[in-house]
Structure 1
């Protein structure tokens, strides 16, 4: 595998940004690790961080490079600060950045596939919200999305009315039913004739976001969306996410012929 720390300029944000990128490499002589790579452009997992983290966190807290080595899977890990993957009401356009600019820039730098069947997204906490938001707003671009302990009910969270939530989403009363509301997006995808991404969702039963996750799970199942849901004892911490990202990689509809 190649681990690349990539600094680049975002026209959308008007500032310099960073991402970590893991690229597949076929290897046979590394001690304790055998890497695989497909011919041509690589299938890609966009792996999103939580609210207090950055683009380095998945590499620092898990063995993600080792986990993906035999899969021939590229991983793109961008930094979006505390934006909630949203075009902020009082801030920068991080939704446009993550959904439009970042994939185009990453594909211009690296041999990443643009085919829907080769594109996946996952994240934890705030990143779980971002992952489902990307897949539900663009089901034509992503074959699968995974949320680990996701902050999935932002309308309920925004109702707290703190300054930070207002800076992100604006008037909290307008979040429910908007393009930032995963519950509304799920209904839209369920009612459409278009493709429906596979969804994976997990949350620990001691997590402060457990109730939010149960609400979204019930909603998605009522709509008939293709959701795999798992819960077990666990809280909002990296021991849990390190285990569950391995489960996500097993679950992904990824071609295994490498």
Structure 2
């Protein structure tokens, strides 16, 4: 895998921002000998937009999980952006992170790297706040995402505009979230009547996680509206040991095309 660490000035954010990109290469280092040709794969790679949680940043997945090793086995490009404490939302008090993540960043990545532009090759995943962001991407843009993964996701944001919420700056104090496109319950209900191809969803949460009850509530509602949801739970808290284990499981679940 190649690791590209880059910064660029985002027009949506109106500031410099950083993103880590893992990109497969076409040369097998294990089998390489000095007499071999130096040839690299140029076909576009499937891509996973991998989102960090609250209080973390774009470097967290690389530092605290084995995502590079897992993605290399799948020949999967991974894009890890920075989103601060935005809840992947155009913040009321802050920057336009929804516009950046959902529009500008994918266009920038596709223009810069050999990343597939096909829906069937495009996925989102994240943990905690990033799990909310990943599901929101897929549910609001089902025409672009084939699948999304939420690990210990902050899937119920309906009270996140309360003064004591971590995300009050994102949503605005007292703002209505329930029943809007900021509400995953509302979005998954809308998806039920969407006539196009619907993204597959993978949801996992540890049974000792403080977000476990929220995740069970979302799971039950998703089943009620007949969403294409795969749900897994098991021992684990809101911790990297659980997320590292489950991101490997989630990559096995993704509907990736067979690689050579």
TM-score class, shorter-chain normalisation, is over 0.9
Q: Which residue of 2 aligns with 1:6?
A: 6
Alpha-carbon distance between aligned partners in 2 of 1:173 and 1:40, rounded to the nearest angstrom: 45
Question: Secondary structure in 2 aligned to 1:228?
Answer: strand
Which of 224, 227, 250 pairs up with 1:225? 227
Alpha-carbon distance between aligned partners in 2 of 1:55 and 1:220, rounded to the nearest angstrom: 29
Q: Which residue of 2 aligns with 1:211?
A: 213
Q: Which residue of 2 aligns with 1:201?
A: 203
RMSD: 1.5
Consecutive unaligned residues of structure 2, counting only runs of 5 or more, are 32-39
Q: Which residue of 1 aligns with 2:27?
A: 27
Query: Does structure 1 residue 15 correspond to structure 2 residue 18?
Result: no
Query: Does structure 1 residue 75 correspond to structure 2 residue 74?
Result: no
Which of 140, 146, 162 pairs up with 2:149? 146
From the two aligned structures, give the one with the greater helix fraction.
1
Which of 101, 104, 118 pairs up with 1:115? 118
Alpha-carbon distance between aligned partners in 2 of 1:115 and 1:38, rounded to the nearest angstrom: 18
Please report how far the alpha carbon of residue 170 of structure 1 lies from its aligned counterpart in structure 2 after TM superposition.
1.9
Q: Which residue of 1 aligns with 2:35?
A: none
Question: Secondary structure in 2 aligned to 1:59?
Answer: helix
Q: Which residue of 2 aligns with 1:34?
A: none
8 Å Cα contact 2:54/2:84 also seen in 1: yes
Output one character per residue of 1:190-229: Cα deviation in whole Å (capped at 9) or x when no partner: 1121221000000001100001100110010111010000
Alpha-carbon distance between aligned partners in 2 of 1:187 and 1:196, rounded to the nearest angstrom: 12
Structure 1 window deviating more from structure 2 (37-46 vs 144-153): it is 37-46
Alpha-carbon distance between aligned partners in 1 of 2:41 and 2:147, rounded to the nearest angstrom: 20
Output one character per residue of 1:100-141: Cα deviation in whole Å (capped at 9) or x when no partner: 000011111111111100000000000000000000000000
Within 5 Å, which residues of 2 pair with 1:1-258? 1-30=1-30, 39-158=42-161, 160-162=162-164, 164-172=166-174, 174-258=176-260
Alpha-carbon distance between aligned partners in 1 of 2:109 and 2:225, rounded to the nearest angstrom: 34
Question: Secondary structure in 2 aligned to 1:184?
Answer: helix
Question: Secondary structure in 1 aligned to 2:244?
Answer: helix
Alpha-carbon distance between aligned partners in 1 of 2:202 and 2:165, rounded to the nearest angstrom: 31
8 Å Cα contact 2:42/2:114 also seen in 1: no
Alpha-carbon distance between aligned partners in 2 of 1:124 and 1:221, rounded to the nearest angstrom: 21
Alpha-carbon distance between aligned partners in 1 of 2:6 and 2:164, rounded to the nearest angstrom: 34
Alpha-carbon distance between aligned partners in 2 of 1:69 and 1:238, rounded to the nearest angstrom: 20
Normalising by structure 2, we get a TM-score of 0.93
Q: How many residues align?
A: 252
8 Å Cα contact 1:38/1:72 also seen in 2: no
8 Å Cα contact 1:155/1:172 also seen in 2: no
Alpha-carbon distance between aligned partners in 1 of 2:246 and 2:108, rounded to the nearest angstrom: 29
Alpha-carbon distance between aligned partners in 2 of 1:125 and 1:163, rounded to the nearest angstrom: 14
Please report how far the alpha carbon of residue 91 of structure 1 lies from its aligned counterpart in structure 2 after TM superposition.
1.4
